[in-house]
Chain A
Amino acid sequence: GAVVSQHPSRVICKSGTSVKIECRSLDFQATTMFWYRQFPKQSLMLMATSNEGSKATYEQGVEKDKFLINHASLTLSTLTVTSAHPEDSSFYICSARRATSAWTDTQYFGPGTRLTVL
């Protein structure tokens, strides 16, 4: 299966600081990556779609100026949580889209990043 990594796996920061999370597709190129957030005992919620070389598309209610996404290469997308506050504490998960044929594709997920804002 395809491998997607995330770094860091866990981060604790002070309120008001910014945190950058990296998502890498290790053995395939991904023109499209996705960022999700998961709060305790809830399901995954899509935050944004990241396309290589273009601006990200954010879901309704997600602040694009707070959650900065950069997809500068076919194997790397980054999510920066700017001026983090305790309510931003969550489990952030990325996925990378891999075409498996002309008619279908599959998203492979990273292991997630646990963000705790004090």
Chain B
Amino acid sequence: DAKTTQPPSMDCAEGRAANLPCNHSTISGNEYVYWYRQIHSQGPQYIIHGLKNNETNEMASLIITEDRKSSTLILPHATLRDTAVYYCIVRPGPNFGNEKLTFGTGTRLTIIP
């Protein structure tokens, strides 16, 4: 069962903000939203995660709607190295068991020079 829905592909101009949407309308109260990305032929890279508050780190910002049914990952100033497949994953916190990450098909983000 797909827990998240993401657009299959997006383009973004270099230097602009890349906004990647994710729908998770069936998210439960104990589930976090995680974002990873995978550059071709590499292992996935952790980006950010959150429960209900917006989060920011050195890589990106995560905006979660008040009803938690969707979120947006924001890369503030996209570079060519941000070209990758981005995965949005929902998963319970560690105290609720089921530590698995289930990867969907993600969004292929292409940064255009």
A-to-B contact residues, CB < 8 Å? 1, 4, 6, 32, 34, 36, 43-46, 49, 91, 93, 95, 97, 99, 102-112, 114
Contact with A along B9-49 (1 / 0, CB 8 A): 00000000000000000000000101010100111111001
B104 in contact with A107 (CB, 8 Å): no
B41 in contact with A49 (CB, 8 Å): no
At the interface, is chain B mostly helix, strand, loop or mixed? Answer: loop
Chain B, interface size category, equals 20 to 34
A108 in contact with B46 (CB, 8 Å): yes
A107 in contact with B101 (CB, 8 Å): yes
B-to-A contact residues, CB < 8 Å? 32, 34, 36, 38, 41-46, 49, 51, 87, 93-95, 99-106
Number of A-B contacts (CB under 8 A): 62
A104 in contact with B32 (CB, 8 Å): yes
At the interface, is chain A mostly helix, strand, loop or mixed? Answer: strand
A112 in contact with B43 (CB, 8 Å): yes
User: Contacts A34-B100, A104-B32 given: A111-B42 contact, CB under 8 Å?
Assistant: yes
